[in-house]
């Protein structure tokens, strides 16, 4: 009669543990690699988005500047260029300084109550809010 006593084979258990451990290590390094790859892709997308947002803002500001410049040209034409002393932008307002004897009626017809007018003994100061100009003229 043959009696076989089966005991634990430590080599098999060791190989199984080693293979499971290597499998976990492999998954860990794969996860790290893929997270780095996705992080770099995400950073590239964020950079592209920031660049497009900046260019869009720059294009809008350029459009606003052109619009304000065109409006200043129209104002100078309405008041006749000879009578205008200066045109400048001061604190969100377009400030036009012209001679005292200038006819400001065309400007009053165009802007109405949006044009703030101050008469002095030497000149007439007209302030027009840039926000109303941009709201009325700018189309996105």
DSSP 95: E
Cβ–Cβ under 8 Å, residues 127 and 95: yes
pLDDT of residue 18: 86
pLDDT of residue 16: 82
Q: Residue 136's closest CA among 106, 104, 108, 111?
A: 111
Q: Residue 72's closest CA among 117, 10, 133?
A: 133
Strand partners, 123: 99
pLDDT of residue 15: 81
Q: What is the mean pLDDT of each run of 10 residues along the chain (140 residues)?
A: 63 81 93 94 94 92 90 90 91 92 88 87 91 77
User: Could you tell me the residue ranges of all domains in the chain?
Assistant: 42-137
């Amino acid at each position: 009669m043959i009696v076989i006593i089966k005991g634990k084979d430590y080599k098999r258990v060791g190989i199984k543990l080693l293979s499971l451990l290597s499998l976990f290590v492999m998954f860990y390094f794969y996860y790290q690699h893929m997270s780095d790859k996705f992080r770099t892709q995400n950073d590239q997308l964020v950079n592209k988005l920031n660049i497009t947002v900046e260019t869009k803002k720059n294009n809008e500001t350029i459009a606003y500047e052109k619009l304000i410049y065109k409006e200043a040209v129209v104002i100078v034409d309405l008041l006749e260029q000879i009578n205008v002393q200066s045109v400048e932008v001061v604190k969100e307002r377009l400030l036009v300084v012209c001679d005292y004897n200038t006819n400001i009626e065309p400007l009053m017809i165009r802007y109405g109550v949006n044009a703030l007018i101050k008469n002095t003994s030497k000149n007439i100061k007209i302030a027009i809010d840039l926000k109303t100009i941009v709201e009325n003229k700018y189309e996105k």
